[in-house]
A and B are shown apart, each in its own frame.
Chain A
């Protein structure tokens, strides 16, 4: 039973990105980078399955610049067994990433693929669904619970209005939502051990995938600014304002 997880190196969730004045992009030159939080949940889920005896090997993949190795090492420190870094400078789009992952899945033949539901940089929320389509396999997005039994994944999904539980024959693709688990903090010895775990490097060309973007970014601009706050005089005024803003239940 092999699990494939994918992780993306993104701007740290705490980093306040700023739009470049010329509208050409966001200034992330000095940004702290980190593993996409939903991917961390995906990694955690895979590790829990392995720890529960439901899986035997976890392969973690990242597509990005050489520094993405740090992100893979973090996944290895959490408990993945082996890493694959697909070196690529510049923008990636979900479709291209899904093609890369599909190519890797064809040789690795995983029984289960777990991805984060979306990356917090492009907020696309597409890669898992696309990967399932390309492989012709079932998909369970926005997972909040995952169990494996008898070649079947049972997944509870966080959907509008409630929850939905699916059965999917393996192999299948699952995308992780926030409540699936709380990723562990990596222990110190595991950080050290992760440095020695195997990590293979390849490229889109070697995998036969064209990563040329399909979308053209014309401009990136600031969102409308947050209106200045006001000091209210009383609890009554506060409640009235909140009712006006329709945020009270």
Chain B
């Protein structure tokens, strides 16, 4: 039993833990972050003697491994969070609302690993192999650009601060939320009621009829939590609710609730950050 680990940076240390759980020896193939898949995949597919190919579910791994799998006529197992046995794994499906245990029937296992689900193991001392890579006649890197630093977009922002009808006017909506959003490098969202009242633009509406968001941190200020709104943000990792009504439905979903007046609490929060 020998496993090939594709390593493209820090997450590979976590993937190594998973690879070791498969049993047997692990060889490491280091690749550049976001290395192109076409030539690499061909080369990896031609390697002999590997029972499993593992990579962290980074953009590199997610791009590369399915290509390898198809070349080997293997069905990949994506984003595992647990190794049950060398051919059986747990992985989240339906945006994490269910956990699936799957067993591979292929002779080779091709697996991507959710790094946060495994501890890191140093790659020191693991056997390394080298393969060519880079541009090919199929694709060529024009540029690698750092993440643009403009304001985050609502649908993909890591932090979202949202306001509801309680703000009372567009002026107050902007005056209270914009400074907080800037401090947090957050996108601004709004409840349907706030959009309806003209406090925020239509495309900022979070909810069933607006944007569905799932940031790491969602701060709902002055939003009571109509079910349509909850549908748009319930998958957020951490939810903070700030509302004067202690029985507002939003508190039922919130990880942290703060009961009180948004007009005093929001400036206080902005100042505290």
Contact = CB atoms under 8 A, between A and B. Distances in A.
User: Is there direct touching of A and B in the complex, by C-beta distance under 8 Å?
Assistant: yes
Interface of A: 11, 13-14, 16-19, 26, 93-95, 98, 120-134, 136-142, 154, 156-169, 172, 178-179, 213-223, 226-227, 229-232, 234-236, 238-239, 241-242, 245, 247-249
B29 interface: no
A213 to B, nearest CB: 8
B254 A130 contact: no
Interface of B: 33-34, 36-38, 41, 58-60, 62-71, 73-79, 88, 91-106, 136-148, 153, 155-156, 158-159, 184-185, 208, 212, 216-217, 231, 237-240, 246, 251-259, 265, 268-269, 272-273
A121 B94 contact: yes
B156 A178 contact: yes
A3 to B, nearest CB: 18
A228 to B, nearest CB: 9
Name the 5 nearest CB pairs between A and B, nearest first: A138-B138, A214-B75, A129-B66, A130-B70, A133-B70
Contacts of A229: 239, 251-257
B102 A216 contact: yes
17 contacts: A18-B97, A93-B75, A130-B69, A133-B67, A137-B138, A139-B63, A154-B142, A157-B34, A162-B147, A166-B141, A178-B156, A179-B153, A216-B103, A231-B246, A238-B269, A247-B217, A249-B159
A162 B99 CA distance: 30
A23 B228 CA distance: 29
A178 B156 CA distance: 8
Contacts of B145: 156, 162-165
A150 B71 CA distance: 29
B238 A245 contact: yes
Contact of A218 (B59, B101, B258): B101
A157 B147 CA distance: 11
